[in-house]
């Protein structure tokens, strides 16, 4: 049984997105598409949830894609191969609901591309037709294109600036598919809340079943704290144990967006202090030379 | 010592003995401690402890022992204290109580051992809990922690799920009997409510850590970051990983919300979330030594009247930016389930108690809590619990200005194990059904603590862990490989 979790591979992809391969043999045995882990970098560190983008049974490793946006994820971006994470625990959440005999369209934005990856693969494995729509601001920020091509019958790409694929958003592509009556049975959307909301609003008009994977602030991941509560339909659900996947047409996205801002002022303070100390450290390192 | 004869400690009569006043507990000054996280009671000195021990009559029929859920040999350990034999006192305590430093601090002694102390009827009872704490602290400080002789390995493997007081006690007892024990804990630290719920100023975490280290010295393996039901199911532990028996001590970790309008506004927390952020994640050291943020509210309301509510209120008060903390409780002070000592400490520190008051909705602006509408209550007829039922007074609504509200109205049981263990029966509240010894509906599986009896006490959880350990020992010993 491992008590530390070494980083075996790390790649700097795009727009502050990093890929990590981490040894976590206990987790790999049970990993399923749609689940996530919670990790902590060091004593005193925060517990942050990250989706399982991939895993390797033989090597006992999990693959994570992490976007550096605040203190913890930025600190993580500074770790190197051979460094250890203090804690990695999981898998958490219910596995994605996979139905056979469907045309499955997955929409991913930002780290959401990594999150749709195992779910698209699971759909491919049961014989579903899989179409992946991935989007980013511009060409350099598209991640996992090859991996997605390997498991999708079709990959469609949208960039905001039109530097690659269709100019526009992922919803631009989805909308045109729905308008042209292309067969679509199930849509899955994972990414920024605003994107999941836009996708859900769109598919609702066409009556197409839509799944979203919610990313509220979490702590324990076991249903003990209620920090991750979301409203779906009329009921309160804990995203860590009842989700993270829910019916996109029933989710209260506005509440989710508001709750994600719960600690914005504190997160800002944390980041400022961190940047200051980082800079002095860099300064010290260069001074030493 | 021959325990059948009544030992004489100091040659004085019982009458004189009863004239010795109960020794007060030295404490940090209320207004000083209200802004720090150090422990509130400072503990007896050796002299104070010996003086207090002199008050015990060494009864032939010591009622106090029956008042203790694990039947600590109270007169015996107190005798050793009075004689200054603290090491013997510690050994006596540990025969029945695996966590004396914890129990001496958090047991509701006034409802257990001390309430039945014979002298209690006439004068104040012997301060059993404070003496217990003294002995355990002395042992830790003097590093005289002695390890019991461990029998040869039995070759049996036992899995304990949950590192709370129930699981830790069960693990310790089984290890002492020579079994190979692994404790699986979902969080990154062992201790259960002792580390995530009960605050530092009431139970320093270093004490819990020392107790966990003691278990490790006994040979217990503690595997944190392991969620049974997710990382592995109970059945997989037994059929694939070769565990001969399992003890489930997963506690009452499911927060109840009140179903009131506005309870998902930013600023409304479950007590579990707030306390976990503060204790387990050390949020009170944010942003310097801890990365987990905590609410920055000037005015805080805590809803509820139990230990959890008192802990949340006193913790919130200690944050430097908090100016005012209210306890909002729908019954009166007499009905409050929290320990009297905690209520008293809270009052001293400046917490305002709004009794016979119930929240009706949370008010907010732009998604953030700005206030809580409350209603005054009056006491009516006794309800099923025998307590007088609070009934709302019409038209008594008022608004309390708060930026943070902490809901501490109780915990249910976490369904994760039940959902992932077929055939394990639970009642309608999700509590696992177990007999006196903790035996469940599934062969080889025992359960105890809050997961069986609902949110209760540390010592009851320990008692359950102990009974189950004895039954598990019998079971695995009889079982053929
Ligand atoms: C189920 C789930 C799966 C996720 N999968 C991924 C993933 O695969 N890759 C990825 O890059 N990100 C993922 N996230 C988001 C990731 O957890 C946050 O980006 C991270 O916690 C930010 O931490 P920080 O300290 O760097 O930033 P901060 O500055 O602390 O926070 C930035 C924003 O991140 C969110 N956040 C902060 N703390 C938490 C927390 N404890 N839990 C959840 N959200 C938080 C908040 O909305 C906050 O405003 C996932 C979130 C959830 C809930
Ligand atoms: C804030 C607060 C204050 C309290 N104050 C007092 C007091 O002053 N005096 C007193 O006597 N009692 C007090 N209590 C009650 C007391 O703490 C509990 O009754 C006691 O801790 C129960 O012990 P337990 O071992 O059953 O469970 P817990 O202490 O809850 O421990 C259960 C452990 O199991 C782990 N777990 C859960 N599910 C899984 C899983 N699937 N896999 C692996 N691990 C899992 C949890 O993470 C946890 O660590 C208080 C409770 C709270 C919440
Ligand atoms: S364990 Fe608790 S109830 Fe038992 S003697 Fe000690 S303080 Fe009293
Ligand atoms: S009942 Fe009181 S006086 Fe008698 S032995 Fe117990 S603690 Fe001492
Ligand atoms: S993260 Fe605590 S209940 Fe979901």
User: Does the beta carbon of A65 sit less than 6 angstroms from any atom of ligand 1?
Assistant: yes
CB A188 within 8 A of CB A109: no
Instruction: Determine the pLDDT at residue B10.
Output: 62
pLDDT at A284 over 70: no
What's the CATH fold of domain A103-260?
Answer: Rossmann fold (3.40.50)
Of residues B231, B264, B286, nearest to A255 (C-beta): B264
Cα separation values, A172 from A134, A156, A247, Å: 11, 11, 21
Pocket of ligand 2 (CB under 6 A): A 222; B 106-108, 161-167, 184-187, 192-193, 197-198, 227-229, 249-251, 253, 275, 307-308, 311, 339, 414, 416-417, 449-451, 455-459, 461
Does pLDDT of B141 surpass 90?
no
pLDDT digits (tens, 9 = 90+) for B329-343: 999 888 899 988 889
Question: Quick one: pLDDT band at residue B2, thresholds 50, 70, 90?
Answer: very low
Chain A nearest C-alpha distance from B230 (Å): 6
B9 close to ligand 4 (CB < 6 Angstrom): no
Find chain B residues with C-beta within 8 A of A229's C-beta: 257, 264
Mean pLDDT of chain A: 90
Please give the Cα distance from A249 to A115 (Å, whole number): 20
Residues in chain B: 481
In this predicted structure, the answer to whether residue B437 has a pLDDT above a threshold of 60 is yes
- Window 169-188 of B: residues touching A by CB (8 A cutoff) are 186-188
Q: CB A261 to CB B276 under 8 A?
A: no
Reported as a pLDDT band with limits 50, 70 and 90, residue B296 is confident
Confidence category of residue B262, pLDDT binned at 50, 70, 90:
very high
Residues linked to residue A61 through DSSP beta bridges, in sequence order:
A23, A56
- For A107-127, the pLDDT digits (tens) are 998 889 999 999 999 999 999
**What separation in Å is there between the alpha carbon of B405 and the centre of ligand 1?**
24
What residue spans of A213-263 are helical by DSSP H?
239-242, 253-260
What is the Cα–Cα distance from B1 to A62, expressed in whole angstroms?
61
- Pick the range with the lowest mean pLDDT from A193-197, A280-284, B99-103, B338-342: A280-284
**Helix B46-53 crosses helix B74-82 at what angle (to 10 degrees)?**
130
Instruction: Quote the ligand 3 centre to B43 CA distance (angstroms).
Output: 16
CA atoms of B184 and B280, how far apart (whole Å): 17
Dist. CA B312–CA B272, nearest whole Å: 9
Cβ of B273 within 8 Å of Cβ of A226? The answer is: yes
Look up residue B23 and give its two tokens: 């020794």
Could you tell me where in chain A the CATH 3.40.50.80 domains are found? 103-260
Half-sphere exposure of A19 (CA within 13 A, CB side): 16
pLDDT at A147 over 60: yes
Q: Of A78, A87, A17, A111, which is closest to residue A274 (Cα–Cα)?
A: A78
- Give the pTM: 0.92
CATH topology of domain A5-92: Elongation Factor Tu (Ef-tu); domain 3 (2.40.30)
In three-state secondary structure terms, B207 is helix
A241 CA → ligand 5 middle, Å: 8
Q: What are B411-430's pLDDT values in tens digits?
A: 888 889 999 999 999 998 88
**Does residue B245 carry a pLDDT above 50?**
yes
Looking at residue A280, its pLDDT comes to 59
- Who lines ligand 5 at CB under 6 A? A 218-221, 223-228, 238, 240
Ligand 1 contacts CB of residue A267 (under 6 A): yes
Is B264 touching A (CB cutoff 8 A)?
yes
Ligand 3 in reach of B74 Cβ (< 6 A): yes
Give A93's pLDDT tier (boundaries 50, 70, 90).
very high
Of A26, A46, A229, the CB nearest to B226: A26
B269: chain A residues, CB-CB within 8 Å: 226-227
What pLDDT band is residue B480 in, cutting at 50, 70 and 90?
low
Q: Write out the residue limits of the CATH 2.40.30.10 domain(s) in chain A.
A: 5-92
Q: What is the rounded CA–CA span in Å between residue B55 and residue B58?
A: 9
CA of B85 to the centre of ligand 4 (A): 18
Q: Give the whole-angstrom CA distance, residue A121 versus residue A143.
A: 16
Q: If you take atom 8 of ligand 4, which residue's CA is the nearest one?
A: B56
From the CB of A56, is ligand 1 less than 6 Å away?
no
Is residue A212's pLDDT more than 90? yes
What is the ipTM metric for this complex?
0.93
pLDDT at B339: 87
- Determine which helix (DSSP H) or strand (DSSP E) holds B371, and give its type and residue range: strand B368-382
Q: Is A92 on the interface with B (CB under 8 A)?
A: yes
3-state secondary structure at position B80: helix
pLDDT band at B95 (very low <50, low <70, confident <90, very high): confident
DSSP B109: G
Predicted pLDDT of residue A171: 92
* Token pair belonging to B82: 């009075």
């Amino acid at each position: 049984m491992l008590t530390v979790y070494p980083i075996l591979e790390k790649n700097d992809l795009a727009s502050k997105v990093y890929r990590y391969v981490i040894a976590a043999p206990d987790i790999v045995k049970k990993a399923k598409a749609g689940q996530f882990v919670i990790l902590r970098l060091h004593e005193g560190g925060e517990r942050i949830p990250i989706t399982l983008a991939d895993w390797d049974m033989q090597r006992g490793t999990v693959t994570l894609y992490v976007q550096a946006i605040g203190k913890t994820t930025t600190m993580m971006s500074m770790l190197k191969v051979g460094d250890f994470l203090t804690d990695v625990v999981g898998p958490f959440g219910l596995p994605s609901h996979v139905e056979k005999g469907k045309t499955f369209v997955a929409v991913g934005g930002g780290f959401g591309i990594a999150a749709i990856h195992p779910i698209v693969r699971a759909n491919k494995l049961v014989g579903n037709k899989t179409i992946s729509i991935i989007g980013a601001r511009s060409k350099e920020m598209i991640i996992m294109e090859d991996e997605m091509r390997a498991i999708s019958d079709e990959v469609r790409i949208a960039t905001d600036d039109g530097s690659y694929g269709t100019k526009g958003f992922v919803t631009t592509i989805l909308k045109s598919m729905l308008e042209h009556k292309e067969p679509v049975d199930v849509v899955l959307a994972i990414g920024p809340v605003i994107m999941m909301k836009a996708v859900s609003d769109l598919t609702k008009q066409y009556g197409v079943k839509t799944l979203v994977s919610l990313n509220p602030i979490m702590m324990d991941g076991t249903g003990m704290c209620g920090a991750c509560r979301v409203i779906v339909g009329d009921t309160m659900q804990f995203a860590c144990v009842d989700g993270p996947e829910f019916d996109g047409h029933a989710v209260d996205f506005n509440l989710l967006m508001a709750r994600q801002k719960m600690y914005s002022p504190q997160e800002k303070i944390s980041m400022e202090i961190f940047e200051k100390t980082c800079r002095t450290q860099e300064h010290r390192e260069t001074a030493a030379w | 010592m021959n325990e059948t004869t009544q030992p004489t400690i100091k040659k004085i009569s019982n009458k004189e003995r009863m004239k010795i006043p109960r020794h007060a507990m030295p404490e940090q000054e209320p207004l000083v401690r209200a802004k720090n996280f150090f422990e509130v009671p400072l503990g007896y000195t050796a002299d104070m402890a010996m003086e207090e021990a002199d008050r015990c009559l060494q009864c032939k029929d010591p009622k106090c022992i029956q008042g203790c859920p694990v039947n600590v040999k109270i007169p015996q350990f107190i005798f050793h204290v009075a004689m200054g034999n603290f090491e013997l006192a510690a050994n006596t305590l540990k025969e029945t109580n695996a966590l004396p430093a914890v129990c001496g601090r958090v047991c509701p002694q006034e409802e257990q051992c001390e309430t039945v102390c014979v002298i209690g009827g006439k004068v104040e009872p012997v301060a059993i809990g404070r003496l217990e704490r003294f002995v355990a602290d002395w042992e830790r400080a003097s590093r005289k922690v002695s390890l019991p002789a461990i029998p040869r390995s039995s070759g049996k493997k036992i899995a304990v799920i949950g590192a709370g007081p129930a699981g830790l006690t069960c693990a310790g007892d089984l290890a002492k009997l020579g079994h190979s024990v692994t404790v699986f804990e979902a969080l990154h630290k062992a201790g259960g409510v002792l580390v995530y719920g009960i605050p530092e100023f009431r139970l320093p975490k270093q004490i819990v850590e020392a107790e966990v280290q003691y278990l490790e010295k006994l040979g217990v393996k503690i595997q944190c970051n392991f969620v049974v039901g997710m990382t592995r199911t109970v059945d997989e532990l037994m059929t694939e990983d070769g565990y001969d028996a399992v003890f489930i001590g997963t506690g009452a970790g499911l927060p109840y919300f009140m179903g009131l309008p506005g309870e998902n506004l930013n600023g409304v927390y479950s007590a579990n979330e707030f306390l976990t952020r503060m204790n387990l994640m050390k949020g009170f050291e944010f942003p310097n030594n801890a990365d987990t943020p905590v609410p920055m509210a000037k005015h805080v309301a805590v809803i509820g009247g139990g230990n959890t509510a008192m802990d949340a209120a006193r913790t919130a008060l200690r944050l430097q930016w908090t100016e005012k903390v209210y306890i909002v409780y729908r019954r009166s002070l007499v009905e409050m389930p929290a320990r009297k000592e905690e209520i008293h400490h809270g009052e001293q520190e400046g917490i305002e108690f709004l009794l016979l008051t119930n929240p009706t909705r949370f008010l907010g602006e732009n998604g953030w809590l700005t206030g809580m509408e409350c209603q005054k209550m009056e006491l009516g007829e006794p309800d099923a619990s025998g307590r007088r039922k609070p009934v709302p007074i019409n038209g008594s609504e008022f608004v309390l200005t708060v930026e943070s509200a902490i809901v501490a109205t109780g915990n249910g049981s976490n369904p994760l194990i039940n959902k992932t263990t077929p055939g394990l029966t639970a009642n309608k509240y999700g509590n696992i059904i177990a007999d006196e010894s903790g035996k469940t509906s599934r062969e080889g599986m025992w359960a105890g603590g809050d997961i069986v009896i609902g949110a209760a006490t540390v010592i009851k959880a320990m008692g359950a862990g102990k009974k189950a350990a004895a039954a598990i020992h019998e079971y695995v010993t009889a079982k053929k490989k």
